[in-house]
Chains A and B, each alone.
Chain A
Amino acid sequence: MNSLAADRPAILAESLTKTYGSGNTEVIALRDVTLKVQRGEVVALLGPSGAGKSTLLTAIGLINPPTSGRIHIGGHLVLDGPHPAVDLRAFRRKHLGFVFQRANLIPFLSALENVQVAMEINDVTPRAAKQRARELLEYLGVGDRASHLPEELSGGQQQRVAVARALANEPGLILADEPTAALDSHRGRQVMELFAKVSRERQAAVLVVTHDHRALDVFDRTLEMEDGRLRESAPSSITPATQH
């Protein structure tokens, strides 16, 4: 299912800049950001509020194109400046999985259907989609809540359903923006460990924006942003598995 080339970096972003607005209201959110993440790598993105973390994540997620620079995912050029080089929506459904601070589940679909719909829009047969959705919810420990609507789930349960949805199409790249902000530290850590597990098992790259320094040991690598610039950081507690 995952057709991204295995020998190419999962993410290769070259000289990204992003400017919001113009004139008086101009904000430069990304200043010449270059980033490479290999398959199977779990990377944390840290930094103060307003540093440009979400901007970078959504640029790589193909929902917020950069002003200039190029983005390659799995060896495919996908964005050349603001110009798409592929059908972005098709690319997202096939290769990307998203998790945000809020679960953003569709309120009129059950937990199971929220996961199922992600596969059905990717042309998986409803039968197969349902089967796999059930397995994913089991895997994430919310199998018993499968038929409940999001409003009937706790915040943590909702977030785990959202993670299941992100994993549904076995994406090569998982992007998460503060996925554990709404969870207690125990649950938060569980989600982070889950990302690490998926990354190991499926050779997916994972890029996670987080403020939670307690779970940093889960990550292979930590990047830090400040005022639109990216730099590698190597806190003593982390022994990166793969450095570049």
Chain B
Amino acid sequence: MNLAVRDIRHHSGRFVLTTVGIGLLLMIVMGMGGIYRGLIHEAILLVDRIDADIWIVQGRTRGPFAETSRIPVSLEDRARAVPGVAWSRRLVSHTIQREHRGRPLRMVVQGLAWPDDNGSWIPLVAGRPLGQAHFEMTADRSLGLALGEQLTLGKDRYTVVGLTRGLVGTGGDGLAFFTASDALAIQFDVPGDARRLERAARRERVASQDLGQVLPLLLDRASGPENDIPALTPPQVSAVVLKLRPGVDTNDVIKTISAWPDVTAYSTDQQKQLLLGGMVDRSRRQLGMFRVLLIIISTIIMALILYTLTLDKLHDIAMLKLIGARNGVIVGLILQQALLMGALGYGLAWWLGQYAFPRFPRLVIIEAPDLLMLGGIVLAISVLASLLGIAKAMRVEPNKVLAG
């Protein structure tokens, strides 16, 4: 005869309520573990998708995702000339936050090296890849944009032509792909007044120098659009990514590129480590801390309730001892209740998670090994939580039956 279950049936209210509470707490613990997995997944998703072997970024920075990186676009051609390089592409990536339909819209603006790369590798769930050099974009569903929707960024309007799903940047913001020149235009969008002032200032500077006085044509150039001025630096991109030919050693190529001034080259693995080691690691510690706290809280709640359930039964436990029940019967009664509470709470957490996790604002990935580990933890805290009640029950004397 199972005493634990019979007792619970008799006192179901408190047990059920506590189990639901424990279930909710465990669901959060489970979800936080899933968010961590999601963070890792999202952090390296783009790096994986871009499918490059080497990343050239601004010297001594950890760009282009972990921090800002600016390098001249000319490096794209220079890198292509390195022996063993199959292709070389510019990469423009930056996060913007703008207003759209009265709500803030955060997105990672990602530039494609059009026309070499029209983004046909991007997994679309609707629409088509970019079809022209300007004013088209693909957007991730998480941005809440619809196919055909128009969006004003800077001075231009862009039309959403394709949709992706689950394609987000390292910070969890949805990715939007543009051509690289559009992406740069969005990044360096300066209001008209500022641009006119800048042109006037340039003209002043040239005019004050002898060169400007000798060559009046220079004055016109200086006050014209930026990209017509040969003496200004070429446009800057975030990084240049390379794919190597099969059989070429990544380290050799990195060594070659590292000799160039003002750039740093990373392999894809190093690039992933940069992402996981920085941001994600901080989040991991933060989430880990919350999980530990929630587990402790769950244990305390379970221990308290199991203790009060045991207190309610002390007279019955004394009676069981009086009629000769072994300690095993009494330990079993309390321990089984604890395990049942843990198991039901865990099951509830898992079941609720099926509905709740997809609605979380960040990606939650629940993996079997994580579930198994949490199961082990729940087992451990159930045993731990029962100890208080068991200790109390062990101290009860059988002749307590006679005292009132």
**B84-138: which have CB < 8 Å to A?**
none
Q: Which residue on A lies nearest to B328, using beta carbons?
A: A121
Q: What's the tally of chain A residues with a CB closer than 8 Å to chain B?
A: 29
A64 interfacial by beta-carbon distance below 8 Å: yes
Binds B, one of A10-18, A92-100, A136-144, A226-234: A92-100
Min CB–CB distance B229 → chain A (angstroms): 89
**Mask of B316-335 contacts with A, CB within 8 angstroms, 1/0:** 10011111111001000000
Q: Separation in Å of the A79 CB from the closest CB of chain B?
A: 14
Beta-carbon contacts of B1-30 to A below 8 Å, as 1s and 0s?
Answer: 101001101110000000000000000000
User: A108 — which chain B residues lie within 8 A by C-beta?
Assistant: 3, 6-7, 9-11, 316
Q: Which residues of A contact B321 (CB under 8 A)?
A: 89
Q: Which residue of A lies closest to B9 (CB)?
A: A108
Min CB distance A73 to B, Å, is 13
CB nearest neighbor in B for A101: B402
- The answer to whether B322 and A107 have CB atoms under 8 Å apart is no
State whether B401 touches A100 (Cβ < 8 A).
yes
Is A77 among interface residues, defined by CB-CB distance under 8 A?
A: no
B337 nearest CB across to chain A (Å): 12
Q: Which of B315, B322, B401 contacts A92 (CB 8 A)?
A: B322
In the complex, whether A80 has a CB less than 8 A from a CB of chain B is: no
A220 at the interface (CB under 8 A from B): no
Q: When chains A and B are docked, how far (Å) is the Cα of A64 from the Cα of B324?
A: 14
Q: For the complex formed, measure the closest distance between the CB of B379 and the CB atoms of chain A, giving whole angstroms.
A: 25
Query: In this complex, what residue of A is CB-closest to B319?
Result: A104
Once the chains bind, are B323 and A93 in contact (CB under 8 Å)? yes
Query: Is B7 touching A92 in the complex (CB atoms < 8 A)?
Result: no
Q: For window 66-115 of chain A, which residues contact chain B by CB distance below 8 Å? A: 89-94, 96, 98, 100, 104, 106-109, 113
Bound-state Cα–Cα, A92 to B323, Å? 6
Task: Say how far B333's CB is from chain A's closest CB, in angstroms.
Answer: 10
Cα A117 to Cα B3 in complex, Å, equals 9
- The answer, yes or no, to whether A235 is at the interface (CB within 8 Å) is no
Contacts of A116 in B (CB 8 A): 1
In the complex, A113 Cα to B316 Cα: how many Å?
A: 14
Whether B324 and A122, one on each chain, are in contact in the complex, defined by CB atoms closer than 8 angstroms, is yes
In the complex, the answer to whether B322 meets A98 with C-beta atoms within 8 Å is yes
A64 touches B325 (CB 8 A): no
The yes or no answer to A128 lying at the interface (CB within 8 A) is no
Q: In the complex, which range does the number of interface residues on chain B fall in? A: 20 to 34
Contact of B401 among A94, A104, A120 (CB under 8 A): A104
Q: Which of the listed residues A54, A106, A109, A120 has the most CB atoms from chain B within 10 Å of its own CB?
A: A106
A39 at the interface (CB under 8 A from B): no
Shortest CB-to-CB span from A130 to chain B, Å, is 9
Q: Flag if A90 contacts B323 (CB, 8 Å).
A: no
With A54-B402, A64-B399, A113-B6 as contacts: A106 and B316 at CB distance below 8 Å: yes
Contact between A98 and B9 (Cβ–Cβ < 8 Å)? no
- The residues of A that contact B316 with a CB separation of less than 8 Å are 106-108
Q: Tell me the smallest distance from the CB of A71 to a CB of chain B, in Å.
A: 15
Does any Cβ of B come within 8 Å of A63's Cβ?
A: yes
Q: Is the CB of A107 within 8 A of B324?
A: no
> Counting CB contacts under 8 A, is B38 at the interface?
no
Q: Which residues of B contact A60 (CB under 8 A)?
A: none
Chain A residues in 8 Å Cβ range of B322: 63, 92, 98
Q: Is the CB of A121 within 8 A of B6?
A: no
The residues of A with any CB-CB pair to B shorter than 8 Å are 54, 58, 63-64, 89-94, 96, 98, 100, 104, 106-109, 113, 116-118, 120-122, 126, 149, 165, 177
A/B interface sample: 18 pairs, CB < 8 A: A54-B402, A63-B399, A89-B325, A92-B322, A92-B324, A98-B323, A104-B315, A104-B401, A107-B316, A108-B3, A108-B7, A113-B1, A117-B3, A120-B1, A121-B325, A121-B329, A149-B10, A177-B402
B residues neighboring A (CB under 8 Å): 1, 3, 6-7, 9-11, 315-316, 319-326, 329, 397-399, 401-402
* 5 smallest beta-carbon distances between A and B, as pairs: A93-B324, A108-B10, A92-B324, A121-B325, A63-B399
4 more contacts with CB within 8 A, not counting A90-B326, A165-B323, are: A58-B402, A89-B326, A100-B401, A121-B329
